[in-house]
Amino acid sequence: MLCAETPVNRGRTRRTKGRIEKCGTVLIHRTIEMSQLFLYTLPSREELAEAQMNVFQVTERKKEYLSLLLLADEQEDMLDRYLEGGVMFVLDDDGVKGECVVTNEGDGVLEIKNIAVAPGQQRKGYGKAMIEYIADRYRERYSILKVGTGDSPLTIPFYEKCGFVRHHIVKDFFTDNYDHPIYEGGMQLVDMVYLRRAL
């Protein structure tokens, strides 16, 4: 079952049930001391594109998105460890573009357990948009957002660009927990690298 949620935004637009209530109106109010003149700027192209994204929470039949989930965690029984207990979101932008699953780890820590963008839609900002949505949604309830990933040049720089910093390493995580070697970018993943970002 899909439940409409507040869309990806930076506090400049508002959407309910997939509908933009205010778009094309004043989004930014800047005051310039020039004969007490108030200047209003129209939304940028990036802001308008962002306003089209909608994020839904998935509460049932999460494995309908299994093909996306397996992009980030390719062994299904590993998914089963957190999928039902986690909170899952799907990003729609004229079609499903990505998903994210988060879990409460206690002590004010929220963990991204799974995040993936559909093939052909990567490097278009959807992954970062999902992370910013999660950060905006949960920052009043959690103080830390963390994520674990393989020590890969394809993923570590992405998270660092999203504001994460390396925190610790779990040695041999992939070789100890998966029934087959995991490769990314031609490299076998061995250790799990955990990164954190303050909310």
Domain boundaries, the chain: 2-101
Give the pLDDT confidence score for residue 149 in this predicted structure. 97
Give the pLDDT confidence score for residue 46 in this predicted structure. 57
Residue 52: pLDDT band (50, 70, 90) is confident
Give the pLDDT confidence score for residue 53 in this predicted structure. 86
Q: Is the pLDDT of residue 22 over 60?
A: no
pTM of the model: 0.75
For 174-193, write each residue's pLDDT tens digit: 999 999 999 998 899 999 99
Residue 45: pLDDT band (50, 70, 90) is low
Average pLDDT, the chain: 82
Cα gap 199→188, rounded to integer Å: 32
In b/e form, how buried is each residue of 118-143, taking b as 16+ CB within 10 angstroms? Answer: beebeeebbbbbbbbbbbebbeeebe
Q: Assess contact for 65 and 95: CB atoms under 8 A.
A: no
